[in-house]
Amino acid sequence: MPVTWPAKVVTVSESVSQGTREDKSGEALSAALGDHGFVVVERRTTTDGVAPVTGVLSELSASFAGLIVTTGGTGFSPTDLTPEATRGVIEREAPGLAEAMRAVSPLGRLSRGVAGSVGQCLILNVPGSPKGAVESIEAVIDVLPHALELLTGGRPH
């Protein structure tokens, strides 16, 4: 019986956090994760910026064994600071995951998203568009259970 991994989704968006826009990327990402056997145990929204994103990621990753995916804030806008915030939380980067997510589409090359681990938690940054978020997570979804098993002390080799 395969292990079911918990996941948390964080939407980084001024307009979503203020309630002026629907969280379509968080919804699409949660559905895609569920389709691949992850159980989304929490969803959050936060405003753009290093401090708000760092705060949410630090809180959500504390004593958590599972996957956290942020959607939004990975582009070139002056307020797109999700990668910088993520680097302030993770202990080790996983550049292969970020590279695989960027390679999935031509617009993926514009993503500055990072991936990495803190404790037993894997954090991934994906774009804020629903299509980009789902394409990015599907580019790496097949290896995520293996990565999480390793992070939580398993020895699957």
Q: pLDDT (tens digit, 9 = 90+) per residue, 84-117?
A: 999 999 999 999 999 999 999 999 999 999 999 9
Contacts 24+ apart (CB under 8 A), 147-150: 147/94, 147/97, 147/122, 148/5, 148/65, 148/66, 148/67, 148/120, 148/122, 149/3
Global pTM value? 0.95
Q: pLDDT (tens digit, 9 = 90+) per residue, 41-63?
A: 999 999 999 999 999 999 999 99
Is 100 in contact with 128 (CB distance < 8 Å)? Answer: no
**pLDDT given for residue 157 in this prediction:** 61
Q: Give the H/E segment covering residue 39.
A: strand 39-46
Find the radius of gyration of the CA atoms of the chain.
14
φ, ψ at 9 (rounded to 5°): -120, 130
Domain positions in the chain: 6-151
**pLDDT given for residue 105 in this prediction:** 92
- Which fold does the domain 6-151 belong to in CATH? Molybdenum Cofactor Biosythetic Enzyme; Chain A (3.40.980)
Q: Dig out the tokens for 21 from the structure.
A: 């826009």
Per-residue CA distances from 45 to 56, 60, 134 (Å): 9, 12, 17
Per-residue CA distances from 70 to 1, 67, 100 (Å): 28, 10, 16
C-alpha angle with apex 11: 5 to 15, nearest 5 degrees?
165
